Amino acid sequence: MRDHDLKHVATVLTLSMLTGVAQAHSDYFYQSATSQVEVPEIGSGIGLIDQQKEKMIGEKVYRQVQRQLPILHDPWLEDQFFRVFAQILSQTQLGQPIGMVVVNDPQINAFAVPGGLFALNSGLIASAHNIDEVAGV
């Protein structure tokens, strides 16, 4: 074997070993971190919060969102998204959504609250190519 070939083999073996060490190292830290997280036992999840309580939570959060976040009031835009979300929800047993708000925030983000409150950041809407991309979030 030539000297050049030996250097190539040595380089490949070294990189291979380093990759294995790095993977083992990251696995160790992942297992270590996750073993320290205590997840509370909350039951099976089925019927955990009944729909009436979910609706109360959603309505309370809706009022807080309206007071505390910069809401973009655009009736046409709200109506378009509300229709999409209502159509999606019609395929579930969740019932009618509480509301849909557009938060005037350039970050690409959205959230939903139990009871059917949907909030979309204006940044998400601006970055989407169509309404289906937003609904997919």
Q: How far apart are CA 123 and CA 102, in angstroms?
A: 10
Q: How far apart are CA 117 and CA 107, in angstroms?
A: 19
Mean pLDDT, the chain, integer? 72
Reported confidence tier of residue 8, pLDDT bands at 50, 70, 90: low
> Which has the closest alpha carbon to 132: 68, 87, 71, 91?
87
Q: How far apart are CA 24 and CA 17, in angstroms?
A: 11
Q: How far apart are CA 77 and CA 100, in angstroms?
A: 10
Q: Which residues, 6 or more positions from 85, have their beta carbon under 8 angstroms from its beta carbon?
A: 97, 100, 118, 135
Whether residue 29 is predicted with pLDDT greater than 50 in this model: the reply is no
The amino acid at 49? I
How much of the chain, in percent, has pLDDT values that exceed 70? Answer: 61
Q: How far apart are CA 135 and CA 137, in angstroms?
A: 5
pLDDT at position 90, please? Answer: 77
Please give the residue that has the higher pLDDT: either 6 or 63: 63
Place of tokens 């991309």: 133
pTM (2 d.p.)? 0.58
Reported confidence tier of residue 32, pLDDT bands at 50, 70, 90: very low
How many C-beta neighbours within 10 Å does residue 75 have? 8
